[in-house]
Amino acid sequence: MQIVKYYFIGCACLLFNLALLSGCAVTQQTKVPVNTVNLTQVAAGENSPVMYTLTLPPHTLIGTASTQLIEVDFAGNQQQFIAQVEYSEDQIVLVGISTTGIPLFDVIWRNDAPIILNQYIPLPELDIEFIIADIQWTHWPLKQLEHSVVGNNIRVVEQHLGKNSETVDSVWQRRLLENEQIILEVNNYGEYFTLEHKLRNYTIKITPLNKDNK
């Protein structure tokens, strides 16, 4: 019952925020679906890139909503915002709000339709495909990730490190490697996740704020 309570509260808050934000949007962008993300950003003529295909939520997340604190360190430039995410069978809805309550953006992503992105303040560096990809690399099961990444001499490994004594959550580390060089490293510490993208030179810390529905 506790999980159900948090789910309906989360959905109600998400729907309320979408309705509220729709009245103050300054820009709206509808983009052709870009369902693949270049994780290596290899220039033409170099080795083949490592491509990740965005996918719909696993069945364990369908019908759930979560609120997360996102902290980003990009080449020493630090930013943070609150993300409210709703997972359903055919889409992912993401609302971004500053830690002081200022609306930033909302997006509806589907794998078979254009992306609908509203920005409420200018966000020239917003790359929504990478934001969604990072959420998937921290929350999607290993098998789904393995089937969604393509490249030469790549592998995805996951190591379970035991239990967090405070949360009794499974603690694990997962890595995406190309030619045994680490491209991505994700750590689940129970209370929060970290994702380090070695080639793009950024680190994200994701802290679930509704503990009963991570």
Q: Please report, for the chain, the start and end positions of each structural domain, with discontinuous segments joined by +.
A: 2-208
CATH architecture of residue range(s) 2-208: Clam (2.50)
DSSP secondary structure letters along 95-156:
EEE-TTS-EEEEEEE-TTS-EEEEESS--TT--HHHHHHHHHHHHS-HHHHHTTEE-TTEEE
For 180-211, how does the pLDDT look when each residue is reduced to its tens digit (9 = 90+)?
999 999 999 989 999 999 888 889 999 999 75
Q: Is the pLDDT of residue 92 over 90?
A: yes
For 4-30, how does the pLDDT look when each residue is reduced to its tens digit (9 = 90+)?
333 333 444 544 454 444 455 556 666
Model confidence, pTM: 0.80
For 35-49, how does the pLDDT look when each residue is reduced to its tens digit (9 = 90+)?
888 888 755 455 678
Place of tokens 């680190």: 203
